[in-house]
């Protein structure tokens, strides 16, 4: 896949495909930086760090839909419950140029079911899924 414009991102939460409701996403793969600085004759006069435990996250904004099996019905029961978030750059089949990115056991700690001002499109606001194990697959 060459450089592209986001227009067909696949996104599922708790095994429900919510792609057609997503208006914004950010998927962050991260680890904590753990300081390992110590006294040493070979010190570079700076701090040293090693990678710690994973600190991944996904932030998603959904256009709101209160119908059965849609945004509200899917997310409402997940507040405070670890769940799985899966994303791909496009809805096409998984491949080397369209990998699946997964956060397993990621916590959604809050939900804004009604968000916006007069005349705004109804949305959930930015929902954060924190922590969880990051994995990726190309097949």
* Whole-angstrom distance, CA of residue 75 vs CA of residue 81: 10
**pTM, entire model:** 0.90
The answer to whether residue 2 is domain-embedded is no
Number of domains the chain contains: 1
pLDDT tens track for 13-27: 999 999 999 999 999
pLDDT at 38: 83
Tokens of 39: 């006294």
The answer to whether residue 28 is domain-embedded is yes
Q: Is the pLDDT of residue 44 over 80?
A: no
Please state the rounded mean pLDDT for residues 30-55.
86
The answer to whether residue 38 is domain-embedded is no
Q: Is 55 helix (H, G, I), strand (E, B) or coil?
A: coil
The answer to whether residue 39 is domain-embedded is no
Contact at 8 Å (CB) between 129 and 57?
A: yes
Contact at 8 Å (CB) between 19 and 89?
A: no
The answer to whether residue 114 is domain-embedded is yes
pLDDT tens track for 69-82: 999 999 999 999 99
Contact at 8 Å (CB) between 14 and 74?
A: yes
């Amino acid at each position: 896949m060459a450089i592209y414009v986001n227009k067909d991102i696949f996104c599922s939460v708790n095994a429900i495909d919510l792609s057609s409701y997503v208006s914004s996403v950010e998927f962050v793969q991260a680890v904590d930086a753990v300081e390992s600085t110590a006294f040493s004759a070979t010190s570079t006069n700076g701090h040293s760090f090693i990678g710690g435990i994973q600190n991944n996250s996904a932030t998603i904004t959904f256009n709101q839909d209160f119908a059965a099996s849609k945004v509200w019905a899917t997310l409402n029961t997940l507040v405070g419950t670890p769940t799985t978030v899966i994303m791909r750059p496009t809805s096409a089949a998984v491949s080397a140029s369209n990998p699946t990115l997964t956060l397993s056991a990621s916590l959604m700690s809050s939900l804004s079911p009604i968000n916006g001002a007069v005349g705004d499109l109804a949305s959930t606001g930015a929902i954060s899924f924190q922590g969880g194990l990051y994995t990726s697959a190309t097949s």
